[in-house]
Amino acid sequence: HAPGAGATAAPRPTLTAKSTVSSVRAWHNFRIYGVGRHMRPGTRVTLQQKQGKWWVSLPASVYTARSGAYNMRVKLGWKGRNALRIVGGRAISPVVRVTVR
């Protein structure tokens, strides 16, 4: 066994997130998509929305594909500028902002 083998920690899981729109009418469909890296295929990822100072999980989740990719259909009714993120597999995506009008 080579010196130092196994001493390196596994890479941290990461998630990306992008929206198909920057602005959408209330209750109209759009998609959030991205890729999970360094996590198992089939990892469940969930949409969260910032409500006040708390992140709240919404009833929208999908499983990552073998490639790590995911694609989630979303409808929002909370008008104004929404901060959204994806969580799963011990990773949190960067914030995506979508304005609901």
Whether residue 6 lies inside any domain: the answer is no
Whether residue 19 lies inside any domain: the answer is yes
Whether residue 22 lies inside any domain: the answer is yes
In sequence order, what DSSP letters do the residues of the chain get, joined into one string? --TTTT-SPPPPPEE--EES-SEE-TT-EEEEEEEEESS-TT-EEEEEEEETTEEEEEEEEEE--TTSEEEEEEE----EEEEEEEEETTEEPPPEEEEE-
Whether residue 5 lies inside any domain: the answer is no
Whether residue 3 lies inside any domain: the answer is no
Whether residue 92 lies inside any domain: the answer is yes
What per-residue confidence (pLDDT) applies to 8?
Answer: 74
What per-residue confidence (pLDDT) applies to 1?
Answer: 52
Whether residue 38 lies inside any domain: the answer is yes
What is the value of pTM for the model shown?
0.89
What per-residue confidence (pLDDT) applies to 9?
Answer: 79
Whether residue 31 lies inside any domain: the answer is yes
Domain of 50, CATH number, reads 2.60.40.10
Report the domain count for the chain.
1
What is the domain range of residue 20? 14-100
pLDDT tens sequence for the chain (101 residues): 555 555 577 899 999 999 999 999 999 999 999 999 999 999 999 999 999 999 999 999 999 999 999 999 999 999 999 999 999 999 999 999 999 99
What per-residue confidence (pLDDT) applies to 7?
Answer: 59
